[in-house]
Amino acid sequence: MSLAQVLYLFGLGYFVANMLVVADLVRLRRRIRTALTTWPSPTPPFYRLSLGIGVALGVLIVMRLVVQRVPLTNLFGESMMFLYYGYGIVLRRRVPRGLFQDGVWTDRAFMRWGEIEGVSWRTEGDTATLVLVQRARQLARTLRVPGDRYGEVRRVLREKVAAHDITFRGVGLDLGLRDDRDAV
């Protein structure tokens, strides 16, 4: 396998990553009006390194275009990586985290209220982490909640449980004596 083929395969992977960023931004545009409580997305680990990689890829593309006179069509892999590191990471950071009318935007993805089967809290310093268990996949997603939003998030979760938007199934022995709102 040649270097050009490897770069093309990397380009396909980064193309998918770029499309996921675009999909997140489109979903945000539709949902932002229904926000119940949100806060800015935290800075991802190695954020500056990622931006540095984006700058280096931009310089590489310019050098290959100007000095080596490589046609733009042969720079697919490098271009997709540049778009991801130069723009995708910055744009993904604009997606706020928090609670919306139809679900929760966790640290990684959006989860609808009906998909949530279990809720738990973990605290570390002044930040609490909400752990949500997804019903269909038995997958746990996390949401870091700033200390000043903790009470508000708990209140919204209790309201969603009371409205039966979140239902806990298969959690312990159900004798009919348990109020699901107490799990929040």
CA distance 139 to 109: 12
pLDDT computed for residue 173 by the predictor:
38
Domain boundaries, the chain: 3-95, 99-171+178-183
Fold classified for 99-171+178-183: PH-domain like (2.30.29)
Q: Which residues of the chain have pLDDT under 70?
A: 169-184
pLDDT computed for residue 180 by the predictor:
54
pLDDT computed for residue 50 by the predictor:
94
pTM over 0.75? The answer is: yes
CA distance 48 to 65: 26
pLDDT computed for residue 182 by the predictor:
55
Please report the beta strands in the chain, taking only residues with DSSP state E, as ranges in sequence order.
35-39, 97-100, 103-105, 110-112, 116-124, 127-134, 139-146
Q: In the numeric block, which tokens belong to residue 154?
A: 């708990």
pLDDT computed for residue 56 by the predictor:
96
